[in-house]
Amino acid sequence: MNSSKQPSVEGMKILVAVTGGIGAYKICSLVSRLVQSGAEVQVAMTEMGARFVGPLTFEALTGKRVILSTHGEGGDSMEHIQAARWAEVLLVAPCTANTMAKLAQGLADDVVSTMSLAFKGTQILAPAMNPEMWSKPSTLRNKAQLMEDGFVVLDPESGPMACGDVGVGRVPTESVLLDALVQFRS
């Protein structure tokens, strides 16, 4: 096998949870690549995530309806629980400071936080937020708590931000996310 070749995600069942950050647009390319590489991908989005990238984009990329609510559509009120049972890995990307705080405290007030509580496998968080938010003691405490609870928390990248600031807070690159999915596969 060629060692420069990207690790394989073929056959993986991946639940991608998109929360409300500008980095959500980068997840479209990741999802497309996962599907093209033979992974089965189900996308769930918070209400704010769906404001950054329309659910139809992910539906076109995966061929599956995006899960937007814990109430389900068409009478399927357990769709989010079924998806949590189906997947072998849950990737929250981008993972906002708000979502990190919810997950660290075990809150379940949207589809992503509810799925996380119901999920038994590996959970990978890809934080993305303003550098000032990332460096706050409360965010760093949440990161430490999440890691103690068994979450894989990737470090955000450094660079220019949508708000004009420069610093640590960008969603990790696609290659970092792909490597994490393979490395931490359940």
Sign of CA pseudo-dihedral 49, 55, 57, 63: positive
Encode burial over 61-94: b for 16+ CB neighbours within 10 A, e otherwise.
bbeebbbbbbebeeeeeebbbebbeebbbbbbbb
Instruction: Judge whether 93 and 25 are in contact, CB under 8 Å.
Output: no
163 is catalytic: yes
Encoding tokens for residue 77? 């009120």
Of residues 56, 60, 163, 182, which has the active-site annotation? 163
Please count the residues of the chain: 186
Encoding tokens for residue 176? 């970092």
Instruction: With CA atoms as reference, report the closest residue to 119 among 11, 15, 10, 9.
Output: 15
Question: What whole-number distance in Å separates Cα of residue 58 and Cα of residue 56?
Answer: 5
Kindly list the distances between the CA atom of residue 42 and the CA atoms of 46, 54, 113, 174, in Å, as whole numbers in the listed order.
14, 15, 16, 17
Question: Which residue numbers are catalytic?
Answer: 163
